[in-house]
Amino acid sequence: MRIRLVIGSVLCLIGVLWLGQGVGLIGGSFMTGEVIWAVIGAIALLFGVALLSGTRRRLDHEPDD
Q: What is the pLDDT of residue 65?
A: 47
Q: Which H/E stretch holds residue 54?
A: helix 35-61
pLDDT at 60: 62
- Run of H or E including 21: helix 2-22
Give the predicted TM-score (pTM) of the model. 0.79
Q: What is the pLDDT of residue 59?
A: 63
Query: Can you tell me the distance from the alpha carbon of 4 to that of 26, in angstroms, rounded to the nearest whole number?
Result: 27
pLDDT of residue 1: 74
In this predicted model, what pLDDT tens digit does every residue of 9-65 receive, in sequence order? 999 999 999 999 999 999 888 999 999 999 999 999 999 999 999 877 666 666 654
User: Domain limits of the chain?
Assistant: 2-58
Whole-number Å distance between alpha carbons of 41 and 19? 4
Residue 2 has a pLDDT of 85
Q: Which residue from 22, 46, 20, 48 is spatially nearest to 34, judged by alpha carbons?
A: 22
